[in-house]
Structure 1
Amino acid sequence: MTARARGMLSGLVGVIMVAALAGCGGDAGAEDGPTKMTVGLIPVADYAPVTYALEKGYFKAEGLDIEIQSLQGGAAAVPGLLSGDLQVSVTNWVSFVQAVTKNTPIRAFAPGAVATPGYSGIYVAKGSDITDPAGLQGKVVAVTELKTITELTTREALKEAGVDPGGVQFTTVPLNSIVPAVNEGQVAGGWLVEPFISQGKAAGQRQLLDVYAGRFRDVSIGGYITSAKFAAENQDALKGFAAALGKAVNEMNDNKSLVEDTLIGMKAMKPEQKGSLLMPTFGNGLSPKDVKVWADVMIDHEFIDAEVNLGEAIIDVG
């Protein structure tokens, strides 16, 4: 073989080796720097650990470049995941179960906040003549989205209070507009969660129904989901996300002031409200049993027709 031929062969082998190495890469971004992920986030206390972990650099330490996209409610998560605009999103388990019943290719991999008494409820205006849940019969109640967690929890709380939820009319109002809607008499009552509960109380509003005192008590409210495609192709990225999130969760569960400071930074609460809000407890490890509780109540209130097989829809990322 001539020297020229040997040189050509050596160059060809080099090209093949480079191509082979490129083809053996792992998760997206593993060879070219941090994995970029856009995360859909609802600006409530339930999901403060994401913002906290981002500020503390926990995602960066796991090789992730996280960008936050604000969402109005959990139902908006699925279209974003399927289109690829979002790689991870928060959602409530009602919206998640509804999507699974339609065979939507999504996967849940981490929990959010845990339902505790007083954490969410129906509030009425200062001076309202409605003094008990029965007073909502024939009235309009504001929820963030129809046929999702805010309506379901209200219906179940009404049922537990001996009130027929069929006699209450539900209407949608953005979460950050429910307090003024109640104050101005546009609705008889509204579904609130922190930090909006504190805003309502500051305006003289009072709780009429505690939606997490009964069947949902100590159950995961929602969590973090991704598309089946992203889960299959980016297992290391999801494992890193869960690890960073778990670190933030542990710190925030041990020190609730971290939740308040994060919400203040998010402009979701005012500095003067610190110490007055009921802060959530965050789950650390997703249990299919928690999601099944929601599915069972959804059947009771005809949000879905039959039991749903959660099977592959809930994954363990380690």
Structure 2
Amino acid sequence: MTHGSTVQVFHLPFSFMLPQRVAAERGYFEAEGLDVELLERDRQRVDWKYVPASETLTGDVDVDLYPVCKWESLKRTWSLEDGRIVAHGAFADLPYTFHARPDAGIEGPADLAHVPIAVNRRTGQEYTAMRALEEHLDPEAIELEHHGMPTDRLRALRDGEVEAATLLDPHSTLADHLGFERLFEFENHVGIVAAADLDGETFEAFVRAYERAVEEINASPEAFREGYLEMLEADAEVAPDLFSDVDLEAMRESVTVPTYEVPEPADPDDLEEHLEWMKDRNLIDEGATIERVVAPVR
């Protein structure tokens, strides 16, 4: 791919990806000479998972770049040969939370042993949750159940299908307003995966535009509050039953726009540690190698 070509970017409509949308809407990609097209799935048609688990994004969907949880980036690039990891990072001061039903008698992470916890599998979220829980529980005591998108997890929690769920703001704030108990937090880590033909000049231009958006948001977070809240309000159309008993205006006022970060070039040493952790738990093939999945763009 040559600099100036259309760059197809898969867009996750979640809070940690706000800078990507801002960079597109404010012309920051265009200023770098990039014609970026954000590919989004219709939220109304997403059944359980936003990131497809079986088809490849770089092949079947013809995507040039896509963000996904750091652990899932290892899984996808190895098992599906879906591109190569080029960057990763926390992306935002925006941790995941564990929320529990107030009647479950759960006061802290140690009480989550053998308790069904709603996660969204094959997004990588379950791996971050597992690592966080292993600091408090034996691995065999951790019970994670797939319940899909944030609204699906909240509904499972509300209906008593699970006793706890993992959530990310602004859905964590929604859970607070629904009366669920916030137990503890754990870090969210994201990776960026590129198609094999994405050249270094194009990726560097993409990161410069992304960084410009990060700086804009961090300088004036309140100016981006409406855009940030659009993600939550879109879910009010998908799952109106979750919002019917909530003071939406009070919830809007309690949401804080996070501080964002710029993706860092892929660090094979850092990702090797994550890969070995996955191998130890039979989450990825024993033969998986960093050389096959990580290809820093230069």
TM-score (norm 1): 0.73
Q: Give the distance between the partners of 1:159 and 1:121, measured in 2 at CA.
A: 15
Per the TM alignment, residue 268 of structure 1 is displaced from its structure 2 partner at its CA by 5.3
Q: Give the distance between the partners of 2:201 and 2:291, measured in 1 at CA.
A: 21
2:83 equivalent to 1:106:
yes
Tell me which residue corresponds to 1:21: none
Kindly tell me: are residues 67 and 76 of structure 1, through their superposed partners in 2, closer, same or farther at Cα, counting changes over 3 Å? farther
- Paired residues in the alignment total 276
Tell me which residue corresponds to 1:193: 168
- Three-state SS of the structure 2 residue aligned to 1:242 is helix
Point out where structure 1 has 5 or more consecutive residues left out of the alignment: 1-25, 213-219
Aligned partner of 2:64 among 46, 63, 87: 87
Kindly tell me: are residues 271 and 283 of structure 1, through their superposed partners in 2, closer, same or farther at Cα, counting changes over 3 Å? farther
1:110, 1:224 within 8 Å by CA — same for their partners in 2?
yes
Q: Give the distance between the partners of 1:261 and 1:302, measured in 2 at CA.
A: 42
Kindly tell me: are residues 278 and 55 of structure 1, through their superposed partners in 2, closer, same or farther at Cα, counting changes over 3 Å? closer
Aligned partner of 1:156 among 131, 136, 152: 131
Tell me which residue corresponds to 2:191: 223
Counting aligned pairs with the same residue, the percent is 20
Q: Give the distance between the partners of 2:274 and 2:249, measured in 1 at CA.
A: 35
Per the TM alignment, residue 162 of structure 1 is displaced from its structure 2 partner at its CA by 3.0
Structure 1 residue identity aligned to 2:284: I
Residues 81-125 of structure 1: per-residue CA shift (max 9 Å, x gap): 112432221111111111333371512333353475x71022112
Tell me which residue corresponds to 1:309: 289
Kindly tell me: are residues 124 and 249 of structure 1, through their superposed partners in 2, closer, same or farther at Cα, counting changes over 3 Å? same
Aligned partner of 1:142 among 107, 118, 122: 118
Kindly tell me: are residues 53 and 167 of structure 1, through their superposed partners in 2, closer, same or farther at Cα, counting changes over 3 Å? closer
Aligned partner of 2:211 among 242, 246, 249: 246
Moved more, 84-93 or 105-114: 105-114
Q: Give the distance between the partners of 1:84 and 1:236, measured in 2 at CA.
A: 23
2:29 equivalent to 1:59:
yes
Per the TM alignment, residue 152 of structure 1 is displaced from its structure 2 partner at its CA by 1.5
Tell me which residue corresponds to 1:282: 261
- Three-state SS of the structure 2 residue aligned to 1:210 is strand
TM-score (norm 2): 0.78
Tell me which residue corresponds to 1:237: 202
- Three-state SS of the structure 2 residue aligned to 1:83 is coil
2:233 equivalent to 1:264:
no
Q: Give the distance between the partners of 1:36 and 1:312, measured in 2 at CA.
A: 26
Q: Give the distance between the partners of 2:140 and 2:257, measured in 1 at CA.
A: 27
- Three-state SS of the structure 1 residue aligned to 2:97 is strand
Q: Give the distance between the partners of 1:77 and 1:249, measured in 2 at CA.
A: 32
Kindly tell me: are residues 258 and 75 of structure 1, through their superposed partners in 2, closer, same or farther at Cα, counting changes over 3 Å? farther
Q: Give the distance between the partners of 2:274 and 2:38, measured in 1 at CA.
A: 27
Q: Give the distance between the partners of 2:31 and 2:152, measured in 1 at CA.
A: 37
Q: Give the distance between the partners of 2:62 and 2:285, measured in 1 at CA.
A: 31
Tell me which residue corresponds to 2:239: none
Q: Give the distance between the partners of 1:253 and 1:223, measured in 2 at CA.
A: 21
Which structure has the larger Rg over C-alpha atoms? 1
- Three-state SS of the structure 1 residue aligned to 2:68 is strand
Tell me which residue corresponds to 1:126: 102
Q: CA RMSD in A?
A: 3.1
Q: Give the distance between the partners of 1:66 and 1:157, measured in 2 at CA.
A: 35
